[in-house]
Chain A
Amino acid sequence: EAGVTQFPSHSVIEKGQTVTLRCDPISGHDNLYWYRRVMGKEIKFLLHFVKESKQDESGMPNNRFLAERTGGTYSTLKVQPAELEDSGVYFCASSQKSEQYFGPGTRLTVT
């Protein structure tokens, strides 16, 4: 069974540009989460989808971040326009019950 996959693994963009991160959850998992870790800090929750609906988006830092989950399958997280403080590692996770399975993360560098 394939695990959670994320694309790209690494992205380097300039301040002001747009970046879209993608997450493919484990097939059949209704719950999908986004987290991020900025340099030296803890991993923080961004938002939670149940199927295609946003269940909890309390961790989204501001309106430059937009997450979607079309048809309840894969999800995208768009950052527009990117700022320097958005640099970090963005993790996606999926679950059916209590255990979340994490993807390898996307390392975003904004210069």
Chain B
Amino acid sequence: AQSVTQLDSQVPVFEEAPVELRCNYSSSVSVYLFWYVQYPNQGLQLLLKYLSGSTLVKGINGFEAEFNKSQTSFHLRKPSVHISDTAEYFCAVSGGRTGGFKTIFGAGTRLFVKA
């Protein structure tokens, strides 16, 4: 069975500071890894994804994540956050390489960016 653990439920940070949102996963098979963002009153938006290849993945809005197979982690980072990054962030995993598999989500991390 697959599972995802987001280690922080809330992360407060000042504007222009760096941020890291932590995510660990467990799976007995190769996985695809994702980070989604949900802004207030909006749906889920894909930030970035790891399918294969380079372990450093760059996404939208200046975010990046690094896949670490030995530590089963996929932490999300941004070197300098903006007020507009305030949102809830979800780490997710899906299994298999044929596509069409359900996605398992972490509990979410609320990022609060303060002026």
Contacts and interface: CB of A to CB of B under 8 A. Distances in A.
A31 interface: yes
Nearest to A56: B102
B87 to A, nearest CB: 14
Give the dominant DSSP class at A's interface: strand
Contacts of A42: 105-108
Contacts of B108: 42-43
A33 to B, nearest CB: 6
Contacts, number: 56
Contact of A98 (B32, B42, B44, B102): B32
Interface residues of B, number: 22
B100 A43 contact: no
B99 interface: yes
Interface in B65-115: 90, 94, 97, 99-108
A100 interface: yes
22 contacts: A30-B100, A31-B99, A31-B100, A33-B102, A35-B105, A42-B108, A43-B44, A43-B105, A45-B104, A48-B100, A55-B100, A59-B102, A91-B44, A93-B44, A96-B99, A98-B49, A98-B94, A99-B49, A100-B94, A102-B45, A103-B43, A104-B42
Interface of A: 30-31, 33, 35, 41-45, 48, 50, 55-56, 59, 91, 93, 95-105
